[in-house]
Chains A and B, each alone.
Chain A
Amino acid sequence: MNKQLTISQLTINNNEHYHGSPKNIKITMLLIWSLLIVNYSFAAGAIVQTTDALLIGGGARPLGMGRAFTAIVEDADAIFINPAGLAGLMAPEFMSMFTNLLGDIYYSEFSGVIPSPVGTFGVGYVTTGVNQVLVPIDPTTTVVSDYYDDLLVFTFSAPLALFFDYGRGIYLGINAKIFNRGWVGLSNASATGYSADFGIKYVVSPYLSFGFNRQNLLPIDLGGVLRYQSGAEETVAGINKLGVAIRPKPLNDNLLLACDVDIPAQSGRPVTGHFGAEWRFNKYFMARAGADQSLDASSPTLTSWNPTVGLSMSISGLRIDYALHPYYNNPSFATTYLSISFRGEKWSTLTGETR
């Protein structure tokens, strides 16, 4: 019987469906706890940890909401935040985002997703780097080089109920990630590596959803490591993202509230929180605001809260998002993010199955 269900029937678009059953809650919690147990069983130990480029972005819409987006993830940028959300898409979508962090770190991301009867497939690409970097080769020699840090992501996402007779409202998503980093013109300085993300989105009702994404869960033994030509190895730091999103019913879906907590998989990085709100004026314009907690070595708590704001304009599937994100209470560190996305028509094979 479950094989007869289609993607659209399993999404939150059906306001009449409520999936907050005790069984679904148990399944969701079981999945999360299983991930956490596996994760800490494969803790990286003493090896040096590097970071994921996805820490920067995910789209101007999430950034305008203080990066509280793990339980929302209803756009193509879900690839970079919680791939489970892609299971709710019913139309192909393309998204891009551009920024220049701290005036020197360029960052671009692109993603495209295609829903299908067996799940949603997607691909994402992030390229970031810094040009004209001073690189001390030895105590007496310094060269100037350009640094690149690229990430390629392949995604698959589907509702759990597509494969089982239970779990309606529970979406699962997985990313396979390929890292490629290095220095232009320098030998023995590039690295490649692999990792994976696993996300869950639990749509309790049209007004409430939860999200969980374990970024970079691949253990070293299974290849979750960056290997440099020099022989050095680094793991990509894992993060457990937990979020909740609420659309207050009295406001007719015009207000969206979200809260995220990022829990580092390994010790060292502090836990950070994220809050965001989005108000839809009409079908063309939306405004956002949020508070993003960032790592801040100069703060006694090692974190600092930063306000964020954002605007959105959409016309006929084309949407432009803008976000302004100051950092560290320093106006000179304010960064702007710009996203351009396009959502196509609902696929006929899917639209025919919608309510």
Chain B
Amino acid sequence: MGTKGRIFLALFIIGCCLFLDENISYSKYQLTARAVSLGSAAGNSLSYRIRGLARFIYPRVPASPGFIIGEGFLRSVYISRAILKPIVTGITPDSAIVGKIVNITNLSGANFQTGAAVKLSKTGQSDIIATDVSVVSPGKITCAFNLSGAVAGLWDLTVTNPDGRSGTLPSAFKISYSAPTVILITPSKGINDQQYIDTKISGTAFRSGLTVVLAKTGEVDINGEAIELKSADELNCRFNIYKKATGIWDVKVTNDDGQSALLAGGFKLESPEVELTKPVELQVSSNPQNPSIKITTIRYNLSKDADIVIDIFNMRGEKIWSLTSPVASSGGQIGQNEVVWNGITAFKSVAPSGVYIIFLTAKTGGQTKLLSKLKLGIIK
């Protein structure tokens, strides 16, 4: 074989190697063909030299079959671009709710080819095949998953090119059940002299195996009993509220997957008669603009909603200030209430030093009940 023939043979071997070698990637600037070594890298192309013989250029991004061939006499050589395996690096969004159709806006990676297929897979479960797959570029795919009937958990994400080569990103996508919500509890209040109260709770995404509790800071939870799941939106249960602390309780529903929902302040537990659950607190401070004006804060806790009247009398028995808080409004609601007297009488005068008698009166059912009488001293 002459020199020309050897060159042709060597280049043929190189081409074959390039064609067969699956390990070529952008991160590996290495050719396995013998007598071929890496020359230099510049711009968008790689330059390879066949030692002692010739030099050709291999594009870094083989987006088209036309490769640039250097130094003329190699034109007759058959050079094929590398065949690369798809690589999956991420997915956006990376989670979705069971039953929803989720649009994937960016499945990122490399070597994606037009016509690639995408799927989610999980051991023991049927694959979820993506629809509307669009290979925007070799590094980006958009698609959609229909998650109806899917099982919650972490799923593997696989991209398969038309040539059958595939890449997988394990546990790339999380499918969850919908978190429950609690919208309403009926009745929304009870009286703690009764043993049980039957309630109906409305919401969404209730699942079999859920638990229900009434929760209040500083108190032991009241567990829902005899829970009957009517639908994903409604359940019945009962609570033992006998002698439990009065006040506002949160309604908490927890699904079997651990997701929970809270209806803050959804349930009021009242006593049969309105009364104070704590002693009334009085706090006096000075008006920042005028220290001779004393501001009095009155804090009290009610055992049930009621019309509350606060009357303040001076040392002469004159009713100088009065405030009526309607039932269930601020000042007349179960739990803690706070009323502020700004130190100005109803007659537009600054309250002087001395003693003030404060009457805290509740009105329920046509009855008037004195809850507390306090003697407040103001010193200037």
Contacts and interface: CB of A to CB of B under 8 A. Distances in A.
Interface in A42-67: 48-51, 53, 55-56
- Interface size bracket, B side: 35 or more
Nearest to B349: A268
Given A134-B282, A297-B345, A298-B309, A147 B355 contact: yes
B353 A191 contact: yes
Interface stretch (A7-15, A86-94, A99-107, A112-120): A99-107
Nearest to B376: A134
Contact of A269 (B292, B317, B349): B349
A298 B375 CA distance: 19
Contact of A136 (B284, B322, B373): B284
A267 B316 CA distance: 19
Interface residues of A, number: 49
Given A183-B379, A297-B319, A297-B345, A133 B353 contact: no
B148 to A, nearest CB: 60
Nearest to A142: B282
A50 B356 CA distance: 13
Interface in B347-380: 347-350, 352-355, 357, 370, 373-380
Chain A interface main SS type: strand
Contacts of A302: 346-347
Given A102-B317, A232-B380, A302-B346, A133 B311 contact: no
Contacts of A147: 315, 354-355, 377
A80 to B, nearest CB: 13
A297 B315 contact: no
Contacts of B321: 297
A335 B292 CA distance: 32
A295 interface: yes
Interface in A135-194: 135-137, 139, 142, 145, 147, 149, 181, 183, 186, 189, 191
Closest 4 CB pairs of A and B: A297-B346, A135-B377, A298-B322, A50-B352
Interface of B: 282-285, 292, 309, 311-322, 324, 345-350, 352-355, 357, 370, 373-380
29 contacts: A48-B352, A50-B352, A51-B314, A101-B316, A102-B313, A130-B315, A132-B375, A133-B376, A134-B376, A134-B377, A135-B376, A135-B379, A136-B284, A139-B284, A189-B353, A191-B353, A228-B353, A230-B380, A232-B353, A234-B380, A268-B345, A269-B349, A294-B317, A295-B318, A295-B347, A296-B319, A297-B311, A327-B317, A328-B319
